[in-house]
Chain A
Amino acid sequence: MTALSAQKRAEARIGLVLASPAILLLVLLVVLPVLATAGFSLTDYRLGTQTIGFAGLDNYGTLWNDPRFWQSVGNTALYTLIVVPGSVGLGLGAALLIEGRGWLRPFYRVAYFLPVASTFIAMAIVWEFLMNPSVGLFNQILFALGLPGINFFGNAQTALFSMAAIGIWELTGFNMVLFMAGLAAIPRDLYDACAVDGGESGWDRFRMVTWPMLGPTTFFVAIITMIRAVRVFEVAAVITQGRPEGATEVLLYSIYVQAFQYFNIGYAAALIVVFLVVTALIALVQARFGGGREASR
């Protein structure tokens, strides 16, 4: 055996040693829990009962036939369908308008980004107060204008939209910063070429250069926002508890209630598997069409 290959082997051993804490922890904190959860979803396990029996796909069957599950899925989907176009569109609009706005630019940037840098649950509680039906600022303004107030979180027709408004407020600034980076990367001479081709108005410049060049950024921003939107949890958990009439019951909140309030382990595990499949599908769409950028945990 040559000295070189001995050295390579020693090196390989060290590589494994350096990686081993991470490997061990990944197995312990991610792989094992995920597999165990998939396993639990096939049982009738409930915390507090002594027995644990194999239940096949019963939990999934229960899910499928549970109108509350479908309401939760529907609410999460509707929330996502409002928040993604809302915060992506407003983020893009803000980024376009802020471009070249001179001395007020830093102010706008800070103002729009502040929700991202704030502690979300604290601000959600502030929103709840703003939307308070009697003493909240919004209804005080409506009353002052002689209009009827809105029972934002008390009414099944408006509760999910109120939640989505908070979500859009939270995410717009984040998306704006990503779009600003995308805009800065567009080569200036494309706009010159556009002018030579007769593209005069701002709309022409947007249609012929900005929008096509921003394609990958827009896709990426939309996917990131989608991943965040399907994880909506705080407002439902703290402010509405899924009420009224389940109008704000969202997927993660259903999981939380089943797992940690009812201790319905088998059923909650099945919900978690559904949640994992949904988030993984979104991420796979990104990996397949988005040029391999990774979303964070």
Chain B
Amino acid sequence: MRGRRLSSIIASVTAHAVLMAGAVIMLTPFLWMELTSLKPPQEIFRLGLHILPREWGGAENYGRVFSDTPMLRFLLNGIVVCGAIVILQILIAVPAAYALAKIPFRGRGLFFALILVSLLVPIQVPSLFLYLGFARAGLLDSYASLVLPFIISAFAIFLLRQHFLQFPQEVVEAARLDKFGEFEIAWRIVLPSARPAIGAFAVFSMVAHWNDLYWPLVVVTDPEMATPPLGVVFFRNQESGSDFGALMAAATVISAPLIIAFLAAQKTFVRGLTSIR
């Protein structure tokens, strides 16, 4: 009995040691980003391993981020673009998903097949044609070009349809007898039951579009229109690897919104990002 307890203690200590080592590796980039953003250049370039800042360079580094780049504009662009995408995705997906789940109409099967096929098409596939279209319309470097390609989400429609299918048909029929219009039934009666799914989708979509670099890189060249990821890339190329303190400060600023949101609402976040199946 004694031996078994000893071996289970050893197992537990080993597990914690391995997990702790893993956690250190996972967190090192974040810690190093923070620490470097607080160091003055001479400390970053001084050879030898020293972890904590001895002198304070934080004010200068963060100051440089906001004076050398339109950082607030990047963040605003990110909020406007992500917000517009998520709201439009939901506005367009709800009626479509409701129709797919609750109303038999001609062409419904074909529409659903189209949704399933669209799930297989990542943005990089239509990007070439869409770029040519936006270029011809003179819409490069605009919110329209950043938002429009994403307002239709086959995934949102698919997800919501699954939820609406579970909504009791009798309630829908009763509402129809009470002369509720279909649009009203969709928004006021069926939708509230799918609120958790919509929340999860909103988190998923927000994170995906806040992080997206590919499409902004294609349609935006004007720093004023850059989203946060593109903004930090512009800043990196402009600094060309000489001012690591300010670069790490910029990385901190643009990652902060998502990280704060994650730490504040871990459950919602994890659910939103992993219930995608």
Partner of B11, one of A11, A26, A104, A202: A202
A23 at the interface (CB under 8 A from B): yes
Q: Decide if B19 touches A97 in the complex (CB within 8 Å).
A: yes
Partner of A178, one of B116, B263, B274: B274
Of the stretches B55-63, B65-73, B125-133, B191-199, the one at the interface is B125-133
Q: How far is the CB of A280 from chain B (nearest CB, A)?
A: 5
Q: How far is the CB of A135 from chain B (nearest CB, A)?
A: 6
| A34–B68 CA distance with the chains assembled, in angstroms | 40
Partner of B23, one of A36, A108, A130, A297: A108
User: What is the interface size of chain B, counting residues whose CB is below 8 A from a CB of the partner?
Assistant: 101
Q: How far is the CB of A288 from chain B (nearest CB, A)?
A: 13
Q: Decide if B121 touches A34 in the complex (CB within 8 Å).
A: yes
Question: For B232, what are the chain A residues with a Cβ–Cβ distance below 8 Å?
Answer: 119, 121-122, 125
Given A123-B255, A126-B248: A26 touches B274 (CB 8 Å cut-off): no
Q: Decide if B19 touches A22 in the complex (CB within 8 Å).
A: no
Q: Decide if A276 touches B111 in the complex (CB within 8 Å).
A: no
Question: For B12, what are the chain A residues with a Cβ–Cβ distance below 8 Å?
Answer: 101
B64 at the interface (CB under 8 A from A): no
A73 at the interface (CB under 8 A from B): no
Q: Decide if B214 touches A129 in the complex (CB within 8 Å).
A: no
Q: Decide if A14 touches B103 in the complex (CB within 8 Å).
A: yes
Question: For A114, what are the chain B residues with a Cβ–Cβ distance below 8 Å?
Answer: 26-27, 30, 259, 262
For the side of the interface on A, what is the size category?
35 or more
B28 at the interface (CB under 8 A from A): yes
Q: How far is the CB of A209 from chain B (nearest CB, A)?
A: 18
| A16–B106 CA distance with the chains assembled, in angstroms | 8
A177 at the interface (CB under 8 A from B): yes
Q: Decide if B111 touches A272 in the complex (CB within 8 Å).
A: no
Q: How far is the CB of B8 from chain A (nearest CB, A)?
A: 10
Q: Mark B235-277, 1 if CB is under 8 A from A, else 0.
A: 0100001001001101110110011011100100110011011
Closest to A295 in B: B119
Partner of A12, one of B106, B129, B274: B106
Q: How far is the CB of A98 from chain B (nearest CB, A)?
A: 7
Given A12-B104, A22-B93, A275-B124: A127 touches B29 (CB 8 Å cut-off): yes
Q: Decide if B18 touches A97 in the complex (CB within 8 Å).
A: yes
Q: Decide if A129 touches B211 in the complex (CB within 8 Å).
A: no
Which B122-174 residues have a C-beta within 8 angstroms of A?
122-132, 148-149, 151-155, 157-158
Closest to A118 in B: B255
Question: For A231, what are the chain B residues with a Cβ–Cβ distance below 8 Å?
Answer: 122, 124
Closest to A10 in B: B182
Q: Decide if B128 touches A269 in the complex (CB within 8 Å).
A: yes
Q: How far is the CB of A18 from chain B (nearest CB, A)?
A: 4
15 A-B pairs within 8 Å (CB atoms) are namely: A19-B100, A31-B118, A37-B126, A114-B27, A118-B255, A118-B258, A121-B211, A121-B229, A122-B255, A252-B124, A252-B214, A256-B218, A260-B218, A296-B119, A296-B276
Q: Which B residues are within 8 Å of any A CB, using their own CB?
A: 11-12, 15-16, 18-19, 22-23, 25-30, 32-33, 36, 44-45, 47-49, 92-93, 95-96, 98-100, 103-108, 111, 114-116, 118-132, 148-149, 151-155, 157-158, 181-183, 186, 204, 207, 210-211, 213-214, 217-218, 228-229, 232-233, 236, 241, 244, 247-248, 250-252, 254-255, 258-259, 261-263, 266, 269-270, 273-274, 276-277
